[in-house]
Structure 1
Amino acid sequence: MANYNGYVNLLASQGSIDLGSSQPFPIPGQSNDEPGVKERRKWTTKEDVILIGAWLNTSKDPIVSNEQKAGAFWRRIVEYYNASPLLVGTIPRELGQCKQRWARINDVVGSPGTLNDINVLDRSPVFDDIYEGRAPRVTYMVNGHQYDLAYYLTDGIYPKWSTFIQSITLPQGPKAELFAKVQEATRKDVERAFGVLQARFAIVKNPALSLDKGKIGNIMRACIILHNMIVENERGGYTLYDTSEFEEGESSRSSHVEHINNMPTHFGNMLGLRNHVRDRRTHQALKNDLIENIWNKFGDNEDV
């Protein structure tokens, strides 16, 4: 457990990594590299630490990273990793190998007993508005099927709930590959947007354990409003585009939001809503529809 906590502390630090000193962190599956590569070799502890450092030092540049897609982001990580002076004389790692190893490191960081998103999910109030009927009623169509819960784009550590849509770690076929590319790029844009807020407002970057949840929510709303005001004020200096070229034409997806106070009448209704949020069948159906919808819209576009 101490070894796992070492990884958690390393990832949580968000600072420059001292690659000269490391402790051994055993990772499950040391001998199973990505299938299909010509040469299979184990990842050493030193390589793991260098990969984590490459990810952290690339990701902590919010302005540059916010302006690139997931593929470009990972190419920078691989270049950073292979350029390490500690790896002189070794065979460079490929992008697919680094991404797969990073997924395995995330699995270890998510082990029981560590403090991360998945461990605090059950205590999180993120779905309270849905359970208690305060959330706006949402209906939308994807690939000809109707859904009534909004969803978050997440990484693979989150459970397969109807409100979470993960990428595909090892996509098979062009449809799955395109979906993974679009999902990761969109999720990365959201993460980088939060990085821009952290770079602009120190109160967002600094620890907030001493603040209650209500005050943290008000702080975030205020920072987002101030950020939008700054963007609006500086917009005259930006390059203006004809937005009509970005407008969607006919699509199999449509959405509608109603602000209706629909408080559950008793505890049984709240349990029903909770089960609906965690429905694995709805999750899989929505994911399949999203894969088809993205392929229908962007399958012929090589720039996506």
Structure 2
Amino acid sequence: MEREREAAAAAQVPRPIRRRTYVRREHDIAHQRLFNDYFAKKPRWGPTVFHRRFRMRRDLFLRIIQTLEALDEYFQYWEDGVGRSGLTSLQKCMFALRKLAYGTTTDMFDEYLHVGETTGRECLMNFCRGVAEAYSDIYLRRPAAEDFQALMHMHEMAHGFPGMLWSIDCMHWEWKNCPTAWRGQFTSAYKGSHPTMILETIADHRLWIWHAYFVVAGSNNDNNVLNSSNLLADQCRGPGPAIEFTANRRQYHMGYYLAYGIYPRWLVFVKTISYPIGDRRVLFAARQEAARKDVGDDECGSSSSTATPPVARGLPMGFNEVIARQTSMRSQQDHAQLMNDMIEDVWKRNHH
């Protein structure tokens, strides 16, 4: 009975009414200030400063805004029921770009752009979703046989490496807000005392990224990441295009990636030589390292590399065939033969 009386007495006590605080934001004035700073005919801060601050060229940013305006009504200008001006597409996209470039708190740019915390979070989410929807068919697609052919031709003409597909590398991204319980598996003594996540990427001569594999614990190395990624899955299972190239008058049926020393001695990797002995090996090491860093200019000429669409199969490739292709891909003997042929081929190309 006593507890019931206490509960009834507590229910009669009026609860405080918490009203939402209204902040008067002048969106039109903030838009005009932003326009005068970066987008006017004579802006206060020119294209060079814009590129340094936002990690993007100004004309590219404006093209993205036009695409998002046509794709999503969220980025179109509107007024509320009482006629107050809302945020423009320039303000919304600028907030998202600053958030991505600097990684600061959501209300960091409220004083300059007059974008609240909740609205800023919506801007960032819609911006990322809109960019992915608008450009995924171009920049997030899987390469076709025509792409492989163009890539091998470009790299052979630019660097003198027939059959080269891409350069492969891994990098560590510092995870500032890593939970304490996860710090051990995301920290590597080789990379310092801060937790990191590993990003595996492959890129071509134009710095076009064709593959990205992210969110691997920083305590791993490049070989561990390679074993868990799906980079070589198509070559093992057979749906990838058939690739042929000639090196030192020897025919090969599998493209390769330029890599550095930590990667395994597989047929799909052409690695540099750490301590080259002899003129041929010294030249090859210099050319390989320059090509891996995408140093060089495009040239014109014919290519000895070809890529054709995969042969249509009535049934999927069997388990034994997959194991056979994987064994061939990891053959150290074939890797040694490819390295010798590439050394001779690079030497002949530079010493006619």
Give the TM interval when normalised to the shorter protein: 0.3 to 0.5
The TM-score with structure 2 as length reference comes to 0.38
The TM-score with structure 1 as length reference comes to 0.43
The one of the two structures with greater contact order (alpha-carbon pairs below 8 A, sep at least 6) is 1
Higher helix residue share: 1
Higher strand residue share: 2
